[in-house]
A and B are shown apart, each in its own frame.
Chain A
Amino acid sequence: MRKFTLLDGLVLPLDRANVDTDAIIPKQFLKSISRSGFGPYAFDEWRYLDHGEPGMDCSKRPLNPEFSMNQARYQGAQILLARENFGCGSSREHAPWALEDFGFAVIIAPSYADIFFNNCFKNGLLPIRLPEDQVDALFKEVEAKPGYRLVVDLEAQTIRTPAGVAYKFEIEAFRKHCLLNGLDDIGLTLQHVEAIKTFETKHRAAQPWL
């Protein structure tokens, strides 16, 4: 997995609550058996004016000029600023794959749906929770100042604004450790093969019908 330490990135606002993973990557793209190539279809129904299907050349599709992702000032954004309950609905990991493939490395929102939140960490994507009033303040600043960037420091657990304000964020110690070091969960778990085998033997002796 890709390591995450520090990011100085342009911010893209997505001012809607309850953005679901169907919106992040619509179902027709889930037919792919690959893990990559979803970025051009991220937010497909909001981003393009036509109906998207897998394999389309997205550079030729009509863009929705009102959608923030299509506006010149947000091109190259790596930080997605969102509202509450981001990533709700389907467990599809294609959603973080699409966001990561598009170029995002950080999401900032007041809250996330559990499965999506968890899936982000498996893909080197850092979802940060900030209190609603701080997210509100960031939305105002991003919209007011073209080229608005934030510096996200995972080690220090801070987000620094251009004006020098630092917002502190929380992250579970284990997730932080894995992200900072780009650790592969499966590799970590396999260090405990003996513990798993011991558990399994005991568990199946207690419930032999399993």
Chain B
Amino acid sequence: MNAQTLYDKLWNSHVVRQEADGTALIYIDRHLVHEVTSPQAFEGLKLSGRKLWRSASMLAVADHNVPTANRAAGITDPIARLQVETLNNNCAELGVTEFRMNDVRQGVVHVMGPEQGATLPGMTVVCGDSHTSTHGAFGALAFGIGTSEVEHVMATQCLLIKKSRAMQVRVEGDLRKGVTAKDIALAVIGQIGTAGGTGYAIEFAGSAIRKLSMEGRMTLCNMAIEAGARAGMIAADDTTISYLKGRPFAPQGELWEQAVAYWKTLHSDAGAVYDCVIDFDAAKIKPQVTWGTSPEMVVPVDGRVPDPALMSDPVKREGAERALQYMGLTANTPMTEIYIDKVFIGSCTNGRIEDMRAAAAVAAGKKVAKNVQLALVVPGSGLVKQQAELEGLDKIFTAAGFEWRDAGCSMCLAMNADRLSQAERCASTSNRNFEGRQGPGGRTHLVSPEMAAAAAIAGHFVDVS
């Protein structure tokens, strides 16, 4: 048999049938659900009189619309409340497991799922959310879908899709101190662009990737979609297996042994062929900061805001000019001279325990700068929050002047009350710096948790490496 990529193995083990043009019916093992992209799917299912194919494959949680403060008061926004109640009702009615807002297991869906062991190597994992690529960190085929497809999976346990091309992003060597998975992700996107991965599934490989923790791998795969790739993935190895052991949804006893034996086959074979391979030297990657309104508009922290006048492609130049205007930045400004108004540490990209620890280590014994009006730390789940509090991280943050909140998507997309005001500038550990993403007129700079915490303390970006 020919050498296969990890993607080939995951794909081939889920094909139910195939159309003449290559469109395949793919079986879905895990279906994660949140409140924003599911109500119309549940409604469609009911209106057509169809049944849920396999409610046990589903796991639901409200994350986008939940408040991160004052939860005892419930959700005050009536439209948001209706959406969360709709999820509660749909799940109760159809027998879908849901962690409700006041359950300690509640959290951002892409933090909660892996934490529960609900994402396992070899699975196909979908969710009506583009950051589903996160789960590929476990050697799973995981990708975001639209609401019509959410309904399709509910009714058939399958999806109609075509196989993507395979890209390998190989990162070899050791990362420098203060450089993280987030910086790898931003450096990759900076090089290949936000459409560089369109039509591809990306496998991240190489010695620098193997050395990443599961948290780091999730951060990296999470951002695959920002490079345009619907799926990112990393081979399962001992790091994956030891992370999963003992988690509530992970197999136990003899099934565990059987599963582990299978999971150990979930890597690309020697000699497997990719449609595209891109190499990075880990030692050359510096802490990254975005300067514009697309994740590809990024430079190392010791760099400067680029000058659009030097860009030869007219579409790129106009985009850069528009971005600088929106961001209120001048070409050639050193990144370390950019002052910020707010800080956001959290999200499905960087809301895990390791991120909390990294940010706390930077903030310990320091104070948030006077020009920073709000520095928010939003743990990715109730369990991350609990663990952080056990370790005393909350005390470190609050002593430094950060606010310590409850779990949710929060200011990553500002659907709840956590948001930027017009022209406010934010150092954010989230994944998108689009116009208005963190609030209308808000200006987002994407960075790692270490970089965000250091910017909170200094009041401007600083090089943590």
Contacts and interface: CB of A to CB of B under 8 A. Distances in A.
Interface of A: 16-18, 20, 22-23, 26-28, 30-35, 45, 51, 54-55, 83-85, 88-93, 96, 111-115, 118-119, 122-123, 172-175, 185-186, 188-190, 192, 195-196, 199-200, 203, 207-210
Given A35-B40, A115-B230, A18 B148 contact: no
A170 B170 CA distance: 33
Contact of A196 (B27, B37, B199, B226): B27
A45 B158 contact: no
B146 A33 contact: no
A115 B258 CA distance: 35
Contact of B194 (A18, A22, A200, A208): A18
B156 A196 contact: yes
Contacts of A22: 413, 432, 434-437
Chain B interface size, under 10 / 10 to 19 / 20 to 34 / 35 or more: 35 or more
Contact of B27 (A114, A173, A188, A200): A200
Given A91-B129, A190-B155, A33 B86 contact: yes
Contacts of A113: 195, 198, 228
B36 interface: yes
B251 interface: yes
A16 B16 contact: no
A186 B155 contact: yes
A189 B152 contact: yes
Contacts of B83: 31-33
Nearest to B23: A174
A85 B25 contact: no
A32 B83 CA distance: 7
A28 B77 CA distance: 11
A203 B37 CA distance: 28
B275 interface: no
A195 B413 contact: no
B315 interface: yes
B65 interface: yes
B152 A186 contact: yes
A196 B16 contact: yes
Contacts of B53: 196
